[in-house]
Structure 1
Amino acid sequence: MTEREDVVFASGQGSARAHCAAWLYRPAGGHSGRTPLIVLAHGLGAVRTMRLDAYAERFVAAGYAALVFDYRHFGDSEGAPRQLLSIGRQREDWHAAIAYARTLDGIDPDKICIFGTSFGGGHVLAVAADDARLAAVISQCPFTEGPASALTLGPRATLGVTLAAIRDLAAAARGREPVLVPLAGAPGETALMNAPDVVAGYLGLVPETETIVNGVAARVGLAIPLARPGRAVKKISAPVLFCVCDTDTVAPPGPTLKYAATAPKGTVRRYPFGHFDIYVGDAFERAIADQIEFLHREVSV
């Protein structure tokens, strides 16, 4: 049994400053001493209700606390305009979440770990390279190489995303609402992800009782192909677990394996599954078991 409460923390500066909504989980039973904590956040346009609670509950059952947050502009967090996906702002949110976690009563500030998946799996690599105090990093089916992910779209969809991004930037310059591009689309459709398993896999993570906006401000379509968070791996001093899906159609495994080999303290676990398979069923069970084993080895409870 776990204890969960709703909390908020501030992130950003000036007009971009807003509160991120989060769930704080603590192990039940009143543990003595200070507890290690894992900060978790999701991938491309995804929110915490899309199965991150399942990970948090397993980590807490293993003796850790957990802080699960939504990025600014998404989910239950503040931030206008809505559905604005900024790589820089999301990484600021990670640093703000970590700083907040270190202030919590009963939490060991020197045993903060971070878990990111998909696009968030790339964020945690960049964030960990800038924070040597972190105790451990879990990067699941991570986005590590923008050009490789961009190539999965095909030329027609790439052109569509580029044109939408230009329209979105023009709208922003005029103070208008963002022009959205779909997150998940069928093969050949204009979307940020359009592999055959994307629509069922991505939207299948949404609880039946909820709806999400299947779209983000299209301007990020110009930033994704240029992003290479895997380059930060060689600068990470903390132990890193890379959970790699061998048949990943969204974040190709080849670049991730190449980058993982440069980690000073890297561990790789590979799974014969696709990008969205790892969140559910047998793939989830295998991955979460490896993640807990890694945490117990690197960050004692």
Structure 2
Amino acid sequence: MSVTRHDVTFDSDGDLCAGWLYLPDGVERPPVVVLGHGLGATREMRVAAFAERFAEAGIAALAFTHRNFGDSGGAYRQVVSLKEQLDDWEAALAYVKARPDLDGARVAVWGSSLGGGNAIVVASRHPELAAAVAQCPFTSGLATSLALGPVSSAKLLPAVVADLVAQARGAAPVLVPLAGETGAKALMAGPGVIEDCQSLMPTGETFRNEASARIVPTIALSRPGRAARKVQAPILFCVCDRDTVTPPGPTLRYARRAPRGEVRTYSASHFDIYVGEQFEAAVADQTEFLLRHLVR
């Protein structure tokens, strides 16, 4: 099915979130899925690839970028705020439900990595949703912090303190690398992580490898997976069994508590699922799941 992509914006607490709305040509008032990205990412980093495939199957898709990142608004660039991100999701849902060319009664959410945790929380707050997808989701701050390792965590600590002081003073944020090699001062560290992040960018575009350090304690204390037991909609967990960024163990335990949860596992690392064979496997599973629950 042919697809038309539209550049859109919507208001989130006075700032504009930018997005791409993919509409399947010739489908009157299609169902819609809202897609959100991971830590420090933007919709360009392969989120749009999933959105386009869903639209080709007849499901409209809104891939958006959180405030403070990419071409979205926000006063402090590269600042990750879980509260603001969840507010952005609420604004995105309100936007698609208000569009007369979409079926606001058939709405799903899709999130990957940190966005996967957001999707679980949002779905737990919206029993009216038709479905949800959480891909390699961030579900346990403790597990993610342990996976980062003590060396990287110790190297981040001075920047975290400095950024919290800057936040209290209303000063510019203290930024640290998002990605780095094992033991590096970075929010995600491991072999090839920088190259993996860059590989998700469109050809010719550069991955902005920095984010505010203040997010570290918030992530460490966050447990979005706990909300899975409150999700009334069908929810699909797509889990990478070699994931060292968002470890699979806690996610599989939380998934079992979801009343209508389904699980698909992939022999993949955290970033493998965005490209190549693992992308094809995951997007096929997700498309089948969304069609099953959104198209009637």
TM-score, structure 1 normalization: 0.96
* 1:25 positional shift: 1.1
Does residue 31 of structure 1 match 2:32?
no
2:254 alignment partner, one of 251, 256, 259: 259
Unaligned ranges ≥5, structure 2: none
Alignment of 1:1-301 (within 5 A): 1-12=2-13, 17-28=14-25, 30-32=26-28, 34-300=29-295
Separation of aligned partners in 2, 1:175 and 1:243: 39
Equivalent residues of 1:233, 1:259 under 8 A apart: yes
Which 4+ runs in 1 deviate beyond 3 A? none
Q: Alpha carbon RMSD of aligned pairs, Å?
A: 1.0
Equivalent residues of 2:181, 2:191 under 8 A apart: yes
* 1:172 positional shift: 2.4
Separation of aligned partners in 1, 2:207 and 2:171: 22
CA offset digits 1:5-44 (Å, max 9, x no partner)? 11110112xxxx201001111101x223x21001011001
Equivalent residues of 1:152, 1:195 under 8 A apart: no
Equivalent residues of 1:241, 1:269 under 8 A apart: yes
CA offset digits 1:258-282 (Å, max 9, x no partner)? 0000000000000011100000000
* 1:299 positional shift: 1.5
Q: Which moved more, 1:196-205 or 1:1-10?
A: 196-205
Equivalent residues of 1:149, 1:252 under 8 A apart: yes
Unaligned ranges ≥5, structure 1: none
* 1:173 positional shift: 2.6
Separation of aligned partners in 1, 2:218 and 2:212: 12
Equivalent residues of 2:198, 2:206 under 8 A apart: no
Equivalent residues of 1:162, 1:222 under 8 A apart: no
Letter matched to residue 219 of structure 1: R
TM-score, structure 2 normalization: 0.97
Q: Secondary structure at the match of 2:180?
A: coil
Separation of aligned partners in 2, 1:211 and 1:292: 29
Equivalent residues of 1:141, 1:251 under 8 A apart: yes
Letter matched to residue 11 of structure 1: S
Letter matched to residue 275 of structure 1: H
Letter matched to residue 5 of structure 1: H
